[in-house]
A and B are shown apart, each in its own frame.
Chain A
């Protein structure tokens, strides 16, 4: 299985049971995960993203025997972000980047974001966008006014010549129904099931948008990784649907290393 949504290092506001890489890898392996796309919690609030990315790459090299695939952090509102993007690909051999627009304080309608999509698309990098990291009702008091990320401005950008491949993480509490269908039809864009809730949630989601654009994402170690996996059981997916969600769709985005 391929988990497209895990994070390394420390969540800023609490220690997590699996926030050491060995523990995270063991837990994921125990659930049958063979590949996990890993960003870093440090990217939320740290300003030195070059150092964050170097640590992410090093952690992925040292732990998991290839299970962890590093995704770098880039903030297109910071000076010289293109150099960050270059290093992610050319120095750290990362297959993609993970953006945190809410924590970095921009919307997807700013020109810098479009420029980043073009640059990443041109380089063949996958762009993950963390739409949320936690239920807004439980945010630390200092972050209670954290801006929401609206995915809608992404729709026209997906048609740009650079043809960016975009993976939205933790998006399904922000966008659903017809807006989600429009988004997924707009280009090379996928969503993970991190933060999906509701009885038989995956089954209902598949009925709305089909299976082809859905990915397994646990949001571990912030969430217990079993949550996403048990949702497969609750939704009683067919074998073909389960294979697409847990491996096939992700593999079409990113070939095996």
Chain B
């Protein structure tokens, strides 16, 4: 069973959300991937307005329309527009089919503005996915690091959080979130560097490591290869490839009556 915690609609080369997700599913089938988590629309913006958040979430809702048996949606929100983001969470998660939140680079996640979003997500049992990077040349002004996420996690120990990209520089990323037991790491969107999975499993435990791809910007193949090629036990590989994500999503899926 393979569940991918990190895919997008933008970058597929297709024109509509429906076509984009169909393209993703065709390639996912080739690679044996059962379920995709999809978030954000097309085009992207670093600091989306409330209207842009709604537009992109609408695209994901359209994409999910015929693929509820293969894909889950996370609602795109921003710490720069808390009230609008709370409305989007209600529209797309509480009253809609989505099962998690996605925060990108509009503002850093250790800001107080993130608290209301995380608390609302927690109340709905939704998973919170935060993009993180530690870039050698410096992050974008609103781009979070794994250290920022660890700070946020310490304020919300009952929330379920995902550290996107393991922070890019994964040796640092796993260290930064090591003590935050409510944070899992997403392996996606980082080159297929040998050792990444072994390090994450060693430092965090296999239960906190999630396969993700960041497709279509990334290849399912290169990102899966990290896990398939890792020197870990088969039991740990199954956890990383899909069992962990299913466990993390189970509370909200059960609350929504979704079998998976």
Give chain A's interface residues, CB within 8 Å of chain B.
Answer: 14-18, 134-141, 143-144, 195-201, 204, 220-227, 229-231, 233-234, 236
Contact = CB atoms under 8 A, between A and B. Distances in A.
A234 B221 contact: yes
A137 B135 contact: yes
B136 A197 contact: no
A198 B218 contact: yes
A141 B191 CA distance: 18
Given A137-B136, A198-B11, A233-B31, A222 B219 contact: no
A18 B13 CA distance: 36
B27 A199 contact: yes
Contact of B137 (A136, A204, A233): A136
Contacts of B65: none
A197 B222 contact: yes
B136 A234 contact: no
Contacts of B219: 196-201, 227, 231, 234
A111 to B, nearest CB: 30
Contact of A17 (B12, B24, B133, B194): B194
Given A224-B193, A227-B192, 14 more contacts: A14-B171, A17-B195, A134-B191, A137-B169, A140-B136, A143-B136, A144-B136, A199-B24, A200-B27, A223-B194, A224-B229, A226-B225, A227-B226, A230-B224
Contacts of A234: 27, 30-31, 219-221
27 contacts: A17-B195, A136-B137, A137-B137, A138-B136, A141-B136, A144-B136, A195-B191, A197-B217, A197-B219, A199-B23, A220-B194, A221-B194, A223-B192, A224-B193, A225-B229, A226-B192, A226-B225, A227-B219, A227-B229, A230-B224, A231-B219, A231-B222, A233-B31, A234-B27, A234-B219, A234-B221, A236-B30
- Most chain A beta-carbon neighbours within 10 Å: one of B135, B194, B224, B229: B194
B136 A223 contact: no
Contacts of B217: 197-199
Given A134-B191, A234-B27, A224 B230 contact: yes
Given A139-B136, A199-B27, A234-B219, A223 B193 contact: yes
B47 interface: no
B189 to A, nearest CB: 9
A231 B230 contact: no
B70 interface: no
Contacts of A15: 195
A157 B190 CA distance: 34
Interface string B207-229: 00000000111111110111011
B198 interface: yes
Contact of A230 (B23, B24, B195, B221): B221
Nearest to A19: B194
Given A230-B221, A230-B228, A233-B221, A138 B216 contact: no
A222 B12 CA distance: 27
Max chain A CB contacts within 10 Å: which of B198, B221, B228, B229? B221
B37 to A, nearest CB: 15
B223 to A, nearest CB: 8
Contacts of A198: 11, 216-219
Contacts of B220: 199, 234
A221 B226 CA distance: 12
